[in-house]
């Protein structure tokens, strides 16, 4: 599938079903401000979480092909569901292009910080059902304990932009009560949904000071940086151009996406693509 040798000037491709992965783009941009980034949101077919694994794998493959046609040097699957279902098959299909998901970096960071510890993964219902964090954490640290909690309302809160204040805190508090009601004491909380970094401060405020908070956006950005460094493909003198693609609803993508990016976007900034 690859056609040429990568150079440091090429872009990093980032793919998600919607706008959530923009938190990963933002973290990569903060870490690697010179890199060109191309983001694809497959908004026509979201949410992936309710689709069959075969469909999700097909969508992820089509998205990957589109980004690959734009000459990327590394691909980030910034979608928990697609990472859980399709990461290893995409890594094989795209080799030697590095393909990085969002699940393993978060799981690795959490187990490194608290070996043999107890972890609480906050995620969507689909991610919990797929059990990808549980598998990744226990593969990295067989002595770890894992609890997963589906927190669907946090997705809606992030999309609505109500990320701080009493409503956000009450909802987060209620979910944490559910997670801890049987006395489970966790060493770390993993934000296992790309929407949740927007709620990071509110979640931090609901946790004891000794509980670690692992954000899969920043941990994924670290893994991207390490991978490019290792291959000699870091771009240190670029202008950090951003390109946004969406498969439907560019107006909504721009409006909600701006919240995730932390900077205003207009529909003109988003190219409508067909895959």
Residue numbers annotated as active site = 79, 193
Contact region with its own copies (CB under 8 A), list: 21-29, 163-171, 190-198, 262-270: 163-171
* Candidate residues 8, 31, 34, 44; the one interacting with its own copies per rule CB under 8 A: 44
3-state secondary structure of 168: helix
Task: Tell which one of 57, 93, 149, 153 touches its own copies (CB under 8 A).
Answer: 153
Scan residues 73-102 and list those touching its own copies (CB under 8 A): none
Q: Which of 213, 248, 258, 273 binds its own copies (CB under 8 A)?
A: 248
In the set 16, 35, 159, 215, which binds its own copies (CB under 8 A)? 159
Instruction: Order the strands of the 118-123 sheet from edge to edge.
Output: 145-150, 118-123, 188-191, 212-215
Q: Which stretch binds its own copies (CB under 8 A): 132-140, 149-157, 213-221, 259-267?
A: 149-157
Q: Identify residues 100-139 at the interface with its own copies (CB under 8 A).
A: 125
Site string for its own copies, 204-243 (x = CB under 8 A): ----------------------------------------
172 burial via Cβ count (<10 Å: 0-12, 13-18, 19+): buried
Tokens 């928990």 map to which residue?
80
Decide if residue 171 touches its own copies (CB under 8 A).
Answer: yes
Nearest to 110 by CA among 61, 70, 59, 144: 144
Q: What's the min distance (Å) between Cβ of 210 and its own copies? A: 27
What are the helix (H) ranges across the chain? 22-31, 53-69, 80-94, 103-113, 125-130, 132-140, 152-160, 166-180, 200-205, 216-230, 250-261
Q: In terms of Cα–Cα distance, which of 46, 29, 32, 40 is closest to 68?
A: 40
Q: Where on the chain is the footprint of its own copies (CB under 8 A)?
A: 43-44, 46-47, 50-52, 125, 152-153, 155-157, 159-160, 162, 166-167, 170-171, 174, 248-249, 252
């Amino acid at each position: 599938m690859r056609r040429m040798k990568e150079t440091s000037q090429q872009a990093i491709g980032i793919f998600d079903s919607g706008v959530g992965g923009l938190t990963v783009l933002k973290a990569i941009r903060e870490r690697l401000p010179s890199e060109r980034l191309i983001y694809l949101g497959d908004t026509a077919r979201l949410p992936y979480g309710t689709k069959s694994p075969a469909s999700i794998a097909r969508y992820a493959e089509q998205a990957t092909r589109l980004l690959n046609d734009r000459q990327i040097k590394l691909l980030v699957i910034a979608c928990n569901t697609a990472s859980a279902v399709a990461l290893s098959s995409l890594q094989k299909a795209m080799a030697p292009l590095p393909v990085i998901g969002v699940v393993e970096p978060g799981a690795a960071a959490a187990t490194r910080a608290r070996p043999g510890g107890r972890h609480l993964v906050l995620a969507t219902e689909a991610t919990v059902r797929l059990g990808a964090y549980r598998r990744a954490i226990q593969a990295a640290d067989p002595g770890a304990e894992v609890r997963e909690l589906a927190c669907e309302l946090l997705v809606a809160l992030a999309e609505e932009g109500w990320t701080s204040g009493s409503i956000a805190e009450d909802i987060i508090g209620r979910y944490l009560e559910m997670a801890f009601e049987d006395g489970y004491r966790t060493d770390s909380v993993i934000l296992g949904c790309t929407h949740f970094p927007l709620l990071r401060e509110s979640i931090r405020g609901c946790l004891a000071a000794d509980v670690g908070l692992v954000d899969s956006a920043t941990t994924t950005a670290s893994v991207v940086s390490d991978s490019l460094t290792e291959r000699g493909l870091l771009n240190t003198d670029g202008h950090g151009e951003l390109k946004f693609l969406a498969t439907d609803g560019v107006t909504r993508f721009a409006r909600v996406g701006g919240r995730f990016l932390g900077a205003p976007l207009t529909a003109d900034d988003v190219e409508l693509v067909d895959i």
